[in-house]
Chain A
Amino acid sequence: MPNDMSGYPCIEVSSLSKSYAIADARELILSDINLTVNQGEFVSIIGPSGCGKSTLLNIIAGLDQADCGKINVRGVDGERLGKIGYMQQKDLLLPWRSVLDNAAIGLEVQGLSKKEAREKVMEGIDRFGLSGFEALYPYALSGGMRQRVSFLRTMIMDQPIVLLDEPFGALDSLTRVQMQSWLLEVWQLMEKTIVLVTHDVDEALFLSDRICLLSARPGTNSDLLRVELPRPRDHSVLSTVEFSEIKQFLLSRLWAYME
């Protein structure tokens, strides 16, 4: 386990396994996962499709239970629902709520009054590029804007840990690049610990401190790759020699897993 990161362990996953009943058989989805994410770190999980990336995030978020293994979040193995920010691939905006009220729903659930929740969202709405849009309903928004609202809803909860499940998967490539830079800004500004699931190698390299590689089903992780690229990064880093080298290495590992 590499421990050259500053900060103490924030998420510790140890020997975690998970299987689902598919038809009559039980199929192993995740097998013996070990992962430590440190405070303030940006870690990506990458792997071939069907390797259980999203299942792993669901389990860390507390939505799903592991068959065996342990998950400690900041030293505690307990209820995690409502204590970790989780943004799924779909934007999951409620069509009957405006941008403002969609972003406020998490705060409402946590017990803030509608008014307090709205006020808090208004404080953050500018940073997410949504000012002027707060009264609109989801159907009137573009995909990128909807994703921003989903982001704001997750981030406004002020959870120190945020899980992102392919948040930019549904966006066109230009918007995706734009959102990635912006995510880096937000991450640096808000000092979050972020775990990102993605299948986009460039995205993982551009954003992460470390990349966790999962093998094809059943997913298991044997590799943790450190991304030695200087921060703060912008997209010019994508065309450097260092980037190409590290990408080449990552791709070769991924291909090895997919065989």
Chain B
Amino acid sequence: MLKITMKLNKSIQWLIPIGILVVLMLLWEFCVWVTDVPSWQLPPPSAIIIEIWQSFGLLWEHTLVTLWEILIGFCVSLLIGLLLAGCIAYSQLFQRSIYPIVITSQTVPIIAIAPLLLIWVGYGLTPKVIIVALICFYPIVVNSVDGLKAIDPDMVNMLRSVGASKWQVFVKLQIPTALPFVFSGVKIGISVSVIAAVIGEWVGASSGLGYLIIYSQPLFLTSRVFAAIFFLAIMGISLFVTAVLVERIMMPWYFNEKRSSAVDRL
């Protein structure tokens, strides 16, 4: 009985936000209909849905471009971020010399750097990848450094007492300890990666959803702008959900532990 109510609760949890969204859409539709706002100023949801239906091929083509920029940029930032975090966590020299630079780098607005990248590396894929990587790598580095330093010294002693080498301590203790922290960084990074890609495309591009928005706006193809925004939102959500899924697959123990302690608190 308890199980059934819990299951019901879970489906209701999903239904509530969807329901609210539907109600808001209907309200939007109604307001546009009542006030008679021209479609180029504010298209009703129905017009956006029709636009998505009609230009799905076009939107999909540009979606793939943006997605590609994000995926490459994110992988680059993950690689560099983890390497840097390892260096910072292990070497006092890196901690003192590189870490402050990493932190300072985030005070420089990336949008301000974007035009420079255009001058240096042109209009292609590269400047977008660089911008995505620049924005994503920061949360990954900061969280991973914290994670690598979060080891329990008693655990280290336990491993040393059975004869573990430094490398074995790193592989068997330090990496698994850092993993939840790394994933926090990854989830923040992947959330902002979409913004980064759009900025990159705004500064100069010939394809991608950001480009589509910039291109459609002066033509007053407002419903197409909305359609592109819709695709960006879906992309962002999908990327985040993927990160969460990978996290759950890689650390089942972490979530079971959290769940069981939550049950204990009840």
- Pick the residue among A90, A95, A109, A139 that contacts B162 (CB under 8 A): A109
Interface centre among B155, B159, B162, B163 (most CB of A within 10 A): B162
Q: Inside 8 A of B260's CB, which chain A residues have their CB?
A: 139-140
Q: Inside 8 A of A68's CB, which chain B residues have their CB?
A: none
- Docked pose: A157 CA to B256 CA in angstroms: 29
- Pick the residue among B154, B162, B256 that contacts A105 (CB under 8 A): B162
Q: Inside 8 A of B254's CB, which chain A residues have their CB?
A: 95-96
Q: Are A109 and B172 CB-contacts (below 8 A) given A63-B160, A81-B163, A82-B161?
A: yes
**Shortest distance from the beta carbon of B156 to any chain A beta carbon, whole Å:** 9
Q: Are A84 and B161 in contact (CB under 8 A)?
A: yes
Q: Are A109 and B163 in contact (CB under 8 A)?
A: yes
* A83 beta carbon closer than 8 Å to chain B: yes
**B148-167 near A? 1/0 per residue, CB < 8 Å:** 00001011011111111000
User: How many interface residues does B have (CB within 8 Å)?
Assistant: 22
Number of A-B contacts (CB under 8 A): 62
* B168 beta carbon closer than 8 Å to chain A: yes
Q: Inside 8 A of B154's CB, which chain A residues have their CB?
A: 88, 90, 92
Q: Are A109 and B173 in contact (CB under 8 A)?
A: no
- Pick the residue among B168, B172, B261 that contacts A139 (CB under 8 A): B261
Q: Sample 22 A-B pairs with CB under 8 A, ordered by A number.
A: A63-B160, A82-B161, A82-B162, A82-B164, A83-B163, A86-B158, A86-B161, A88-B154, A92-B154, A94-B172, A105-B172, A106-B163, A109-B159, A109-B163, A109-B168, A109-B172, A110-B162, A137-B257, A139-B256, A139-B257, A139-B261, A157-B162
* A61 beta carbon closer than 8 Å to chain B: yes
Nearest chain-A residue to B159 (Cβ)? A109
- Docked pose: A82 CA to B256 CA in angstroms: 32
Q: Inside 8 A of A139's CB, which chain B residues have their CB?
A: 253, 256-257, 260-261
**A50-77 near B? 1/0 per residue, CB < 8 Å:** 0000000010011100000000000000
